[in-house]
Structure 1
Amino acid sequence: MNILKGVEIFGEYVLLLKRVFSKPEKKRVYYRQTIKEIDKLGLQSIWIVTIISAFMGAVITLQTAYNMENPFIPTYLIGLGTRDSMLLEFSSTVIGLILAGKVGSNIASEIGTMRVSEQIDALEIMGVNSASFLILPKIIATVLFNPFLSVLSMIVGITGGWLVGVFTGVVSSQEYINGVQYAFIPFYITYSLIKTVVFAFLITTISAFYGYRVQGGSLEVGKASTQAVVMSSIFILLFNLLLTQLLLS
């Protein structure tokens, strides 16, 4: 029964995506909506990404330094470890999980509230493709802006690690910078950005799907928000595994 239900839900998800990516009625309206969504879902997420990235970069640096007890291990590896940790995993996957909680719950609750208050029904009566009008601008906004958040996370995390490493004395500034530059592979940034775009699409579409199919009242909206965050997180981890195998193998 669970498998059949899962197949049914996936079918509904695909059908919703078909409606979302149908031809927009008025492109100018969609453009204005996209700008609003970039501000709400992207710009307002900068502060949380910046704060978390700075602290995580600092923690990675300290943990790497305190676990390097062998005096024969060069200290520049501290900078290298922080760089690779931020580029390969943190700035894409962990930030994606954080945004699944912040952005995903916001999308699910907003669309769910519109569903239970019959605003979506009103749009349908007026002949508006409500799925495309409400969801497509959110997808475009997150897919376009989340790579910027990922790059910001990389820069802030590596900088935070450098500041803490120097101020605590666990690594010199020159050694840390040498580690950041050592054996740098540019494809790691491309790999991280590809994952970020995929995660942005998953977060937005899954959250919108759970919000769009809400039935009931405010209690069901809360449940839909929780389901959206949980399912977004699961699919982020699943696709992280798949993309890592495809891109780095």
Structure 2
Amino acid sequence: MFTALGKYLMLMRLSFRRPEKFKVYWSEIMREMVSVGIGSLGIISIISIFIGAATTIQVAFQLASPLVSPSIAGTISRDSNILEFSPTISALVLAGRVGSSMASQIGTMRVTEQIDALEIMGVNAPGYLISPKIIAGVTMFPILVIAAICLGITGGYIACLVSGDISPTDYVTGLRDGFNGLTIRVALVKATVFGFLIASICSYQGFYTSGGALEVGQSATKGVVYSCVMVLFADLVITRAML
């Protein structure tokens, strides 16, 4: 375990050494940002809308009482989406989509000796391959989470229009009542940490792949599993520390 942690820390240190040519790194960063951000927007949009709608309907069902104001459903749905569903569910989905792609891409380059060729040419392979992925993850995950929050709240509003369990006016009133900006800060901190964990762990698994195609698939699977576990652990730590 400590050997793996030492290799991980060493890889992270090498990944952020001063680049030989910043222009080359910049083009890689832009490419990774497009892949992580725009490439993930579709699945994040679909999941966020349906989760927001389902959460609102379930809250309305559980709080169906004359003693409880209907607008409380909007408040609970808002805070649940901001604090937990949007950052955590999005991170778990992106671990499967983005993380597995990162691990398999780097793993394939390792088993086909492309990384060895980069090192022979004097290129800092961890910096060239891994740092753009980490920067893209840390940059684009918060943007995706903000989009997920907006779409989740929109999904709840659509559920109110379709189901009629709560009037849209009560839902909007609940969204406005008692809003605390701390929840947004917590969500953005979670998104940033999750982005770093997913990109770094999956890149680490891919970088130290050995063997052939079977091992590349195993590295991608390990990267997704380990990053999901670390995302859940970090979620607990950040929630306890900031709330």
TM-score by length of 2: 0.99
**Which residue pairs with 1:32 in the alignment?**
27
Q: 1:42 corresponds to which residue?
A: 37
Residues in 2 aligned to 1:211 and 1:64: alpha-carbon distance in whole angstroms: 42
Please state how far the C-alpha of 1:165 moved relative to its aligned partner. 1.2
Unaligned runs of 5+ in 2: none
Write the distance in 2 (CA, Å) between the matches of 1:167 and 1:214: 50
Q: Count matched residues.
A: 243
Q: Which residue of 2 aligns with 1:205?
A: 200
Q: CA deviation at 1:68?
A: 1.7
In the other structure, the counterpart of 2:240 is 245
Corresponding residue for residue 90 of structure 1? 85
- Following superposition, the deviation at residue 94 of structure 1 comes to 1.2
Partner residue in 2 for 1:62:
57
C-alpha deviation, 1:83, in angstroms: 0.2
- Counterparts in 2 of 1:1-249, with a 5 A limit? 6-248=1-243
The Cα shift of 1:60 comes to 0.1
Of 217-226 and 35-44, the range deviating more from structure 2: 35-44
Residue identity in the other structure for 2:11: L
Distance of 2:235 and 2:164 partners within structure 1 = 35
Which consecutive unaligned segments of at least 5 residues does structure 1 have? 1-5
Work out the CA distance in 2 between the residues paired with 1:7 and 1:223.
21
Kindly provide the CA deviation profile for residues 219-245 of structure 1, in whole angstroms up to 9, marking residues without a partner as x: 000000000000000100111111111
Task: Work out the CA distance in 1 between the residues paired with 2:177 and 2:116.
Answer: 57
Greater displacement, 137-146 / 218-227: 137-146
Alignment partner, residue 3 of structure 1: none
**3-state DSSP class of the match of 1:215?**
coil
Q: Supply the distance in 2 between the matched residues of 1:208 and 1:236 (Cα, whole angstroms).
A: 15
Give the CA deviation at 1:14: 0.5
Q: Which amino acid aligns with 1:122?
A: A
Residue 69 of structure 1 and its aligned partner are, at CA, apart by: 2.9
Which deviates further from its counterpart, 110-119 or 159-168? 159-168
| Counterparts of 1:37 and 1:241, CA distance in 2 | 28
1:189 partner letter: I
**What do the CA deviations read for 1:161-205 (whole angstroms, capped 9, x no partner)?**
011112211111110000001100011001100010000000000
Displacement over 6 Å in runs of 4+: none
The sequence identity of aligned pairs, in percent, is 42
Deviations 1:130-170 (A, max 9, x none): 00000111111111111110000000000110111122111
Write the distance in 2 (CA, Å) between the matches of 1:40 and 1:174. Answer: 38
